[in-house]
Structure 1
Amino acid sequence: MTRSFEDYFVPVNITDIILLAMLRRDGIDLTSSRVIMKDDQPSGLALIARRGWASRLAAMGLVSTARNGGTGTWAMRQLIEEAGSRGEKEMLLEVIEQNTAAVKLYEKFGFTKIRRLVGYRLDTSQIDSAALRQDQELQEIDIRELAQMVSYHGLEDLPWQLSGTTIAHHTPPSRAFCLKDAYCLVSNPETTDVAISSVLVKSPAQRSRLERNLDARFLRDSQIRSGTFHRYFPKR
């Protein structure tokens, strides 16, 4: 998988732990996933996640020597035909918009845009953690509780990776927190990069308060303070 994403837009280095976590959280079906062979050599892979009548192309990549030769087109045709034979009614995927070759490939097979996904990054090295205030109401909750809240109150068409079903498959060291009616899911706060991958709030003011409290709790650690936070806030 790492070789299939050589020279990609973002560095990709897949370890066994990362791969196994991806399989579990995203509902990837290895019996429907494929290693792409060319000239009897493994030249790429396609990971297929499945839920009900929908499937998702969770990852697809080719080694550099197999690109621009029609292999991607052949593979997509096979994957779509196999999804149809399984009785699935839709296939979903995400693609970095700067990856114009992939965008053209998917559009050629009839994929249409649903939304543009964005992320935010905060360089915490410039933040004075002593100036941050933490409310006593910030509480840690079971990730399953957050998953239930997102499934019930979240947008009906949340991306696959942000849905309540996916959240329910997160386990420690990921952690979930609530501040009254505001909820969030964060990755391991002991690492230098902390991802806030789900936020459920009733108002922007609640989001700001939750955000401030997370900063106050985790920016005390110099390792966290020198790292970055990646934030994604679904529109409420």
Structure 2
Amino acid sequence: MDQNAAVTRRPLSACSLDEAAKAFTEGFVGYVVPVSVRPEALALRIAREDVDTDISEVFFDGGRPAGILLISRRGDRSRISALGVGPTIRSRGFGRRVMQDAIEAARGRGERELILEVIDSNARARDLYLALGFQITRTLVGFSRAATLPVPDVAPAEECDLGTAVEMLFRFSDAGPTWQTDPVSFRQAKPPLIGVALEGKAAALVDDSGADVRLYGFAVDPAYRSRGLGRSLADALAACYPGRKMYVIENVPAGLFDSFMQRIGWSKSTLTQSEMSLALS
């Protein structure tokens, strides 16, 4: 008897956001970090990461949301933005089959490359991707500024037009960004994101709608680097949020900002991810 017989896979486009959010949360029950997704947050993720809702899937176990597969597409590259398999459908080879189907579908679309990220302590998933032919391309890290750090004695950063901040990120960002940090992800930026700029030479994107403040983008004009502008902008941001933790999730290439973050008092996360790639042609 097929253990997966009761499991159905529906296109994300054929499901409600509420169903998809429940499936996402269920798919990551017991994950190495807590995951709980609201429909509004999922909608933002779909837009920012260019998730293709027609080829992404929601899994159901007997009609109950049980997991999710999000596939993003940009040009001739695609990305597994999320693969979560809930407790009731795990340990059946289901995740491997979904990944094999996703690889073949990407080849069928004529894509050049399929990428993903996996938390390094999630050995089971990491081993699966390696067995399927993925290669590790780089390590990704995150950073945080503790809520207990003293507030810099500077004027708080002033908000600017979101479009202005995003345009500056496009011009100033380093080559080879990760999928999530690519300024393309913010070309249609809207609240809860907030744009901040300094002298037209540095810009940042933040979301302060949660208990902690998340930094999504940060860039300094290459022509003005090593002049303290990055430090000035970081301090001005910290002055906006006294007593609140600020953080960047683990999607920054290791070594890119490590020294800078250490100088401004931010700590590197102990959690790391591996970015992985599978050549399709």
Q: Same fold (TM over 0.5)?
A: yes
Secondary structure of the residue aligned to 1:50 is strand
Identity of aligned residues (%): 29
Which of 13, 18, 21 does residue 36 from structure 2 map onto? Answer: 13
Pair 1:134-2:155 in alignment? yes
State whether residues 168 and 202 of structure 2, in contact with CA within 8 Å, keep that contact through their aligned partners in structure 1. no
Which of 222, 225, 229 does residue 246 from structure 2 map onto? Answer: 229
TM-score by length of 2: 0.73
How far does residue 152 in structure 1 lie from its aligned partner after superposition? 3.1
- Equivalent in the alignment of 1:164: 183
Where does structure 1 lack aligned partners over 5 or more consecutive residues?
220-224
Which of the pair has the greater relative contact order for Cα pairs under 8 Å at 6+ separation? 2
Where does structure 2 lack aligned partners over 5 or more consecutive residues?
1-23, 258-281
How far does residue 199 in structure 1 lie from its aligned partner after superposition? 0.9
State whether residues 56 and 70 of structure 2, in contact with CA within 8 Å, keep that contact through their aligned partners in structure 1. yes
Number of aligned residues = 225
Structure with the bigger percentage of strand = 2
Separation of aligned partners in 2, 1:93 and 1:73: 14
Separation of aligned partners in 2, 1:178 and 1:228: 21
What is the CA deviation profile of residues 132-167 of structure 1, one whole-angstrom value per residue up to 9, with x for unaligned ones? 2127xx443332233333333322310111111102
Structure with the bigger percentage of helix = 1
Pair 1:183-2:200 in alignment? no
Q: CA RMSD in A?
A: 2.2
- Equivalent in the alignment of 2:165: 146
Separation of aligned partners in 1, 2:181 and 2:86: 29
Pair 1:194-2:217 in alignment? no
TM-score by length of 1: 0.86
Which structure 2 residues correspond to residues 1-236 of structure 1 after superposition, within 5 A?
Answer: 1-36=24-59, 43-124=66-147, 126-129=148-151, 132-134=153-155, 138-180=157-199, 181-188=201-208, 190-201=209-220, 202=222, 203=225, 205-219=228-242, 225=243, 227-231=244-248, 235=256
Secondary structure of the residue aligned to 2:177 is coil
